[in-house]
Homo-oligomer: A and B are copies of this chain.
Amino acid sequence: MKNNKIQPSILPGFMELLPREQQIFKDIIRKITNVYEKNGFLEMDTPIIEKSEVLLAKSAGETEKQVYRFNRGSNDLSLRFDLTVPFARFSAQYFNELIFPFKRYQIGKVYRGERNQRGRYREFYQFDVDIIGNNKLSINNDALVISMASRAFKAIGLKDYKLQISNRKILSSVLKELEITNTTEVLILIDKYDKIGAAEFESSLIELIGKEKADYINKIININGSNEEILAELKKLDMNSEELKKGIEEIDTVRKMLKLLGVDDNEYTINLKIIRGLDYYTGTVIETFLIGNENYGSICSGGRYDNLAENYTDNILPGVGISIGLTRLFFVLKEIGFLDNYKVEKSIEYLIIPIGDTLEYCVEIYKMLLAKGKYTEIYLEEDKLKKKLNYANKLAIPNVILIGENEVLKREIKIKDMASGEEKVINLL
């Protein structure tokens, strides 16, 4: 045996959970997966390592710097940094074998060499859901995907969230109508609105495009009221732009479909300040904030894109999707105390404790409970009773079955409710 032990530790920026929290994490995954599968989304799983040439086909400089990239033999490899690029590659590669509209979900780890800071992870789970069509895809899918987010949150018992919905076409057309040329800068600025606050935003915007245009945009992105009222205001905009009309029509259709799908009007706000950075979105865009905890950023984002896989194929694949940053979400839910009373669906219900030479009967009961679908284990170690009961307590196992020789003789099961201390005797004879 060696005396020089290696300090067991993991890399900074990597999340690892103890069993109890891991159970919650798994429970969350299971519940969201259930929502997606019940709605016909099919699982996709792609390699974590891909050819750099394929994975970085389109990436901008900023992403590329964060990528875990290395050589092995003569191969230039990268770890995936999101699930969208692999999805695009997959859709192009197996185009002829896929059935459209193709509804897929994917959960998996992705890698980004982010600056090390609390709550930011270098390895983290993304949980994506997308629908792509071959050449066309109904706008109703945008609402369906948003309803998936709503159902997912409800499934895990999350209530204090607010979806923020916009449509890129609206601002884009307004900027065009105003003959603004530095579109990118303006959009980046609007994207930062909530971070920098109204005052700084206003003065920066004036600097960029002058007071008149700035006032106009500021007015539009700050229209207040119910979703219906905001839409009514937008419809009044005095601009003869087809794109604008299209954008407003789309968001209106989404709103109506959301109502049908059972997404309550107070679950979301139409908010033109939602941009989703410089991503590839072309219509609907979505972010989600925790009410009262908006500072943690969006926990679920996505939108509509015109053509998923243009780097890999001539086939036109329009789609819409959302992504939950699950590792980040878990961190946030822990921070805000949501996990404290989280109820895990699947965990052990019965601990059978043999006292003396009663293992045979214990195993019989164990098999009986398992056959009934119960989550059951037997304590197999020869320890003092106190230690055995401690195991149940520490693992919060609700029921303990103590089997002494007396129980074997009488063919009895004495079930002890660990919370109330109450005992219930069942006779098997």
Instruction: Establish whether residues A10 and B51, one from each chain, have CB atoms under 8 Å apart when the complex forms.
Output: yes
Q: Which residues of chain A from 130 to 144 have any CB-CB distance to chain B below 8 Å in the complex? A: 133, 136-138, 140-141, 144
In the bound complex, CA of A318 to CA of B16 (Å):
23
Asked, given contacts A48-B123, A68-B72, A99-B391, whether A53 binds B6 with beta carbons under 8 Å apart, the answer is: yes
Cα A16 to Cα B86 with chains together (Å): 11
Query: Chain A, 196-217, contact with B by CB distance < 8 Å: what is the 0/1 string?
Result: 0000000000000000000000
Residue of chain B at shortest CB distance from A395: B99
Over the window 97-129 of chain A, the binary record of Cβ atoms lying under 8 Å from chain B Cβ atoms (1 yes, 0 no) is: 111010110000101010000000001000000
Cα–Cα, bound, A113→B140 (Å): 45
Question: In the bound complex, how far is the Cα of B346 from the Cα of A104, in angstroms?
Answer: 15
Whether B382 pairs with A37 at a CB distance below 8 angstroms is no
Q: Determine the residue in chain B with the shortest Cβ distance to A390.
A: B99
Residue of B nearest to A262 (CB): B367
Chain B residue at minimum C-beta to C-beta distance from A133: B381
Does A38 reach chain B (CB closer than 8 Å)?
A: yes
| Contact of B48 with A48 in the complex, beta carbons under 8 Å | yes
Q: Which residues of B contact A307 (CB under 8 A)?
A: 1
7 contacts between A and B (CB under 8 A): A1-B307, A19-B42, A22-B45, A39-B370, A39-B375, A101-B380, A261-B363
Q: Which chain B residues lie closer than 8 Å to A22 at the CB level? A: 42-45
| Identity of the chain B residue whose Cβ is nearest the Cβ of A351 in the assembled complex | B40
Tell me the complex Cα distance, A70–B382, Å. 46
- Point out the residue from B39, B44, B75, B351 that lies within 8 Å of A19, measured CB to CB: B44
Q: Which of B46, B99, B375 meets A394, CB within 8 Å? A: B99
A92 at the interface (CB under 8 A from B): yes
Partner of A376, one of B6, B38, B72: B38
A342 on the interface (CB 8 Å rule)?
no
Which residues of A approach B to under 8 Å, CB–CB? 1-2, 5-11, 14-19, 22-23, 25-26, 37-40, 42-51, 53-54, 57, 68, 70-72, 75, 77, 89-90, 92-94, 97-99, 101, 103-104, 109, 111, 113, 123, 133, 136-138, 140-141, 144, 257, 260-262, 307, 309-314, 346-348, 351, 359-360, 363-364, 367, 370, 373-378, 380-382, 391, 394-395
Asked if residues A19 and B376 are in contact (CB atoms below 8 Å), the reply is: no
Q: Is the CB of A8 within 8 A of B377?
A: no
Contacts of A394 in B (CB 8 A): 99
Contact (Cβ within 8 A) A40 B377: yes
> In the complex, what distance in Å separates the CA atom of A357 from the CA atom of B312?
37
Q: When the two chains form their complex, are residues B53 and A380 in contact, meaning their CB atoms are under 8 A apart?
A: no
A344 CB to nearest chain B CB (Å) = 10
Known interface pairs A260-B360, A395-B99; A123-B47 also in contact (CB < 8 Å): yes
Supposing A10-B47, A49-B111, A375-B40 touch, asked if A312 and B19 sit within 8 A by C-beta, the answer is no
Asked if B8 and A313 sit within 8 Å, CB to CB, the answer is yes
- Asked whether, in the complex, the Cβ of A37 is within 8 Å of the Cβ of B346, the reply is yes
* Chain B residues positioned under 8 Å from A111 (CB to CB): 49
- Chain B neighbourhood of A37, CB < 8 A: 346-347, 375
Whether the pair B375, A9 counts as a contact (CB closer than 8 A) is: no
Q: Pick the contact of A380 from B49, B113, B144, B262 — CB < 8 Å?
A: B144
Q: Are A377 and B103 in contact (CB under 8 A)?
A: yes
Q: Is the CB of B50 within 8 A of A11?
A: yes
Q: In the bound complex, do residue A47 and residue B140 qualify as a contact, i.e. CB atoms below 8 Å apart?
A: no
Q: Are B123 and A370 in contact (CB under 8 A)?
A: no
B47:A14 contact, CB within 8 angstroms: yes
